[in-house]
């Protein structure tokens, strides 16, 4: 006698066409309701989220931004780090940082607890501003000046990692931000270090 083989030609045996079990209906309803909650959170976070940068974007000519940045670096230069100028602007100043393949220019030295207007832009292609080891990330786009109000809340010696693939030297594109406290000392590797942008993070 031949064994019955399911060929797909005969209807499948089972109860799948009968109404769903009560428990299934409840769980599908719960999952759907949760989807709606998360969906509503998207616009809510957009307006109310503490992660939103308090910044303004404006168009800028990359060459003009670069010229402004080198002028800024020269004006407030206090030293050099590997050939890159270290700029120490006074609190409240407009601070310029330009990303280019494959460098961040200049090195910034800021004071803890003081607010600055940080202008970010790129000279050539898209780069990504990622402040290590903190969770601060911004896209750096040529042709746009991204101005952010930033207040460093902890002193330390921070690294800017490029987190947008920008070419062959992408992995070497590391910049530096030094935050000094009121005594003028930068506490390196502070595990509790945070940087606020727009006063809320
Ligand atoms: Cu710049 Cu990756």
Tens-place pLDDT, residues 118-140: 999 999 999 999 988 777 888 99
Instruction: Flag whether 61 is in a domain.
Output: yes
Instruction: Flag whether 147 is in a domain.
Output: yes
Q: What lines the ligand 1 site, CB under 6 Å? A: 99, 102, 127, 162, 164-166, 170, 173
Angstrom distances, CA of residue 27 to CA of 23, 32, 199: 6, 8, 41
Instruction: Flag whether 31 is in a domain.
Output: no
Each residue of 139-153: pLDDT tens digit? 999 999 999 888 898
User: Using CA positions, which residue lies closest to atom 1 of ligand 1?
Assistant: 127
Structural domain for 182, as ranges: 56-197
Q: Full-prediction pTM beyond 0.85?
A: no
Instruction: Flag whether 81 is in a domain.
Output: yes
CA 72 to ligand 1 centroid distance, Å:
22
What CATH number is attached to the domain comprising 118? 2.60.40.420
Determine the atom of ligand 1 nearest the C-alpha atom of 165.
Answer: 2
Which residues on adjacent β-strands are paired with residue 161?
130, 174
Instruction: Flag whether 127 is in a domain.
Output: yes
Instruction: Flag whether 34 is in a domain.
Output: no
CA 164 to ligand 1 centroid distance, Å:
5
Structurally, how many domains does the chain consist of?
A: 1
Q: Which is it for strands 144-152 and 116-122: parallel, antiparallel or unpaired? A: antiparallel
Are the beta carbons of 63 and 71 closer than 8 angstroms?
no
Instruction: Flag whether 3 is in a domain.
Output: no
Instruction: Flag whether 177 is in a domain.
Output: yes
């Amino acid at each position: 006698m031949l064994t019955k083989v399911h060929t797909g030609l005969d209807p499948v045996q089972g109860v799948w066409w009968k109404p769903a079990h009560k428990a299934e209906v409840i769980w599908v309803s719960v999952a759907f309701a949760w989807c709606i909650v998360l969906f509503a959170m998207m616009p809510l976070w957009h307006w109310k989220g503490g992660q939103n940068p308090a910044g303004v974007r404006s168009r800028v000519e990359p060459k003009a931004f670069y010229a402004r940045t080198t002028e800024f670096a020269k004006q407030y230069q206090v030293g050099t780090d590997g050939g890159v100028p270290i700029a120490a602007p006074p609190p409240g100043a407009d601070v310029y940082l330009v990303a280019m393949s494959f460098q961040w220019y200049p090195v910034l030295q800021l004071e803890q607890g003081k607010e600055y207007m940080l202008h970010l832009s790129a000279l050539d292609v898209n780069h990504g501003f990622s402040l290590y080891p903190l969770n601060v990330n911004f896209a750096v786009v040529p042709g746009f000046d991204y101005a952010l109000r930033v207040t460093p809340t902890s002193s330390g010696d921070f690294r800017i990692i490029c987190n947008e693939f920008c070419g062959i030297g992408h992995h070497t594109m590391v910049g530096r931000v030094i935050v000094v406290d009121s005594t003028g000392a930068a506490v390196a590797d502070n595990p509790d270090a945070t940087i606020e942008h727009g006063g809320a993070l």
